Structure 1
Amino acid sequence: MKLLVRILIVFLVVNFLFMCNRTGKSETETILKGSATVVVDETLLPILEDEKMVFESTYDAKINLKPRSEAEAIQALLKDSAQIVVLARNLNSEELKFFSSAQRYPKVTPFAKDAIALIGNLNRKDSTIALSEVLDFMKGKSSSSFKGLVFDNPNSGTVQYMNNLAGIKNAPEKGIYSFKTNAEVLKYVAENPDMIGIIGINWIVQPSPEVQSYLKNIQVLDVQGVGKQGFYAPSQNNLAEGTYPLARQLYFVNVQGYDGLGMGFASFIAGERGQRIILQSGLLPEHMPSRKIVTRKTL
């Protein structure tokens, strides 16, 4: 009988503490109120900054964006130092298994399609490039049209994406260069005619003030897919038709485990207003915003 009483007391105390914790969260954070930190793949930072600005101007909310490489964002999620991340890929089977074993179930929201752009110096004679040539270079073969490839960060999702396409784990050291930010990639390609930069298109269509001066010396190259005919630019139309060969899906991943600001921000981005922001940014929204046509009988 004493044991039963002790078990009952422990249960009531734990339940009380749990409810207090839930109440505390609801008082400081709801889906449209409070503050939250979002770790974002650095290649996607410009579009998230646009979404954050409109979201914060509409609701009593504060979103703190932390740009990181893809590898750093994933590690932060697994180590529980981050509960909300934005990635250019979905969680893989091992990562999903990790959360399932901990009885945590990520809410994954696809919200847009992005493009990896291949950029060259404005003085480059050819405005096109074959993807097969780039992948062969990553396998250690030489190229007749460029001397090196420039990435943003050795741990970025862009590097992993290209490594997967090339079928390699690590790119060779010779001819492969990496910096810390996308801005440094733009600067280097603008100053070096024989280099090809590999960068998220969002940094081109929505340039920050620090990179605008470099863009006048850069051209975005049309890309020919492996075994395909024709060269295609990373435009919204080509992303929608599936003709541009370096397209990738973007995801909002939330493991908060309660109805917090992460859920509200994800819903906003995937909703009508957030998708319209994506459309205006040059990326392809997951759901095309509706258009209302108003007709008039007289002018």
Structure 2
Amino acid sequence: MSPRKLFPVVVVASLILPLYLFACHGNRSGPSEISELPASATSGALTFGAESSLVPVIAPVGRMFSAYYPSARLKVSGGSFEELFNGFLRGDPAAMLVEGRLSGVEQSLLENAAFGYRLEPVAKGALVCIANRRGPVESLTSGQLRRLLSGGNASRRIVPVVNEHDVVLQRLLSERVSGGEAIHVRTVSGDAEVVRAVAGDRNVIGFLPLESTGQEVRVSGDSLSIRIVPVSPDGASAAVSPSQDNVYKGTYPLAYIIYYMYRKQDPLAAGFGAWLAREGQKGIVRSVLAPYRQPVRTINLK
């Protein structure tokens, strides 16, 4: 693949993602029986949206909910943020995951809508910087990242690369590193291409979401060529890796909150949100993401 030209990326709320579906297992009732059940916080049918990289993370958590409540049938639908958000405004899906904060335009559309909604913080994700093991980048500070992404790196010795379709990642990079300013990066056609670009050039660094980094590196077969770059919030502090504990504690500078947004008048969407924010944190802990809060532990005294 020939290299793309470097250009500033204008962050917009849309990205193209494949469609994923899952049906929760352990349900004792068939689909037709479920659809006929009266909707409640623990019964009925619910479709909720998530970006493709989050689908493998949230699908097992959805199956946990169905195991708790066999009369509830959940389905997760993957798509671009723009598709999911516009669908949410129309009522399908009735809930969705949101990485980071909504934009002012999105908040305005929701405030002017004829329905109530709620944003429930349910997990913490992170942007992960990867580099070639033979390259010069072993760690970075937030200030160094800001200069690399601002276009102020005159020599362009270190070239940042991102997935051109992952506009949410680009928006989060802009917010977390560049204070909302446009970022200057090279773009490639997918996460796998980000890994290949880093593995093939010692002067390239790449950015991926935490939930897909390990999988993409493993599938590429380039794990021996790639290092995860720890980041320091300032030059005085030690660089921190994006471990689950560091992301949870907030010591990793590129962490962000993942929200579950749902329509208040949908009882199952609200019920799943309440469960996800409490008991469902156990499922988040078992994933690569960090929980938003420590799971509740029950001790049985005999």
Bin of the TM-score, shorter chain as denominator length: 0.7 to 0.9
Answer yes or no: is 1:41 the counterpart of 2:51: yes
Instruction: Choose which of 204, 221, 235 in structure 2 pairs with 1:195.
Output: 204
Q: In structure 2, what is the equivalent of residue 130 of structure 1?
A: 141
- Amino acid in the other structure paired with 2:111: S
The alignment-based identity, stated in percent, is 21
Asked whether the 8 Å contact 1:71–1:156 carries over to 2, the reply is no
Cα distance between partner residues in 1 of 2:220 and 2:207: 17
For 1:90-109, list aligned pairs within 5 A. Answer: 90-109=101-120
Q: Which runs of 5+ in 2 are unaligned?
A: 1-33
For 1:143-158, list aligned pairs within 5 A. Answer: 147-154=158-165, 156-158=167-169
- Amino acid in the other structure paired with 2:183: A
Asked whether the 8 Å contact 2:142–2:234 carries over to 1, the reply is yes
For 1:216-227, list aligned pairs within 5 A. Answer: 216-226=224-234
Q: Give a deviation string over 1:139-184, Cα, whole Å, max 9, x none.
A: 2122779532222344522100112331455333xx421434x344
Cα distance between partner residues in 1 of 2:52 and 2:226: 20
Cα distance between partner residues in 2 of 1:64 and 1:282: 21
Displacement of 1:119:
1.0
Q: Which runs of 5+ in 1 are unaligned?
A: 1-23
Asked whether the 8 Å contact 1:119–1:221 carries over to 2, the reply is yes
Asked whether the 8 Å contact 1:118–1:198 carries over to 2, the reply is yes
Q: Give a deviation string over 1:2-52, Cα, whole Å, max 9, x none.
A: xxxxxxxxxxxxxxxxxxxxxx97736443334332221334333213313
Q: In structure 2, what is the equivalent of residue 263 of structure 1?
A: 270
- Amino acid in the other structure paired with 2:58: L
Going from structure 1 to structure 2, the CA distance change for 1:68 and 1:126 (only over 3 Å counts) comes to same
Displacement of 1:128:
1.1
1:159 is paired with a residue of what secondary structure?
helix
Answer yes or no: is 1:53 the counterpart of 2:60: no
- Amino acid in the other structure paired with 1:42: S
Q: In structure 2, what is the equivalent of residue 17 of structure 1?
A: none
Asked whether the 8 Å contact 1:269–1:275 carries over to 2, the reply is yes
Instruction: Choose which of 279, 288, 291 in structure 1 pairs with 2:294.
Output: 288
Going from structure 1 to structure 2, the CA distance change for 1:147 and 1:76 (only over 3 Å counts) comes to farther
Rg comparison, structure with higher value: 1
Q: In structure 1, what is the equivalent of residue 243 of structure 2?
A: 235
Cα distance between partner residues in 2 of 1:45 and 1:67: 7
Cα distance between partner residues in 1 of 2:35 and 2:62: 21
Size of the aligned set, in residue pairs, is 267
Q: Give a deviation string over 1:234-273, Cα, whole Å, max 9, x none.
A: 123323433211110110001262213x22332332222x
Cα distance between partner residues in 2 of 1:187 and 1:64: 33
Going from structure 1 to structure 2, the CA distance change for 1:192 and 1:54 (only over 3 Å counts) comes to farther
Cα distance between partner residues in 1 of 2:83 and 2:236: 34
Going from structure 1 to structure 2, the CA distance change for 1:266 and 1:234 (only over 3 Å counts) comes to same
Going from structure 1 to structure 2, the CA distance change for 1:217 and 1:68 (only over 3 Å counts) comes to farther
Instruction: Choose which of 247, 256, 264 in structure 2 pairs with 1:248.
Output: 256
Going from structure 1 to structure 2, the CA distance change for 1:28 and 1:271 (only over 3 Å counts) comes to same
Cα distance between partner residues in 1 of 2:143 and 2:99: 22
Displacement of 1:222:
0.6
Instruction: Choose which of 98, 109, 124 in structure 2 pairs with 1:87.
Output: 98
Scaled by the length of structure 2, the TM-score of the pair is 0.73
* Structure having the larger proportion of residues in helix: 1
Q: In structure 1, what is the equivalent of residue 42 of structure 2?
A: 32
Scaled by the length of structure 1, the TM-score of the pair is 0.74
Cα distance between partner residues in 1 of 2:300 and 2:217: 38
Going from structure 1 to structure 2, the CA distance change for 1:25 and 1:169 (only over 3 Å counts) comes to farther
Instruction: Choose which of 278, 283, 287 in structure 1 pairs with 2:284.
Output: 278
Cα distance between partner residues in 2 of 1:187 and 1:99: 39
Asked whether the 8 Å contact 2:119–2:261 carries over to 1, the reply is yes
Going from structure 1 to structure 2, the CA distance change for 1:118 and 1:49 (only over 3 Å counts) comes to same
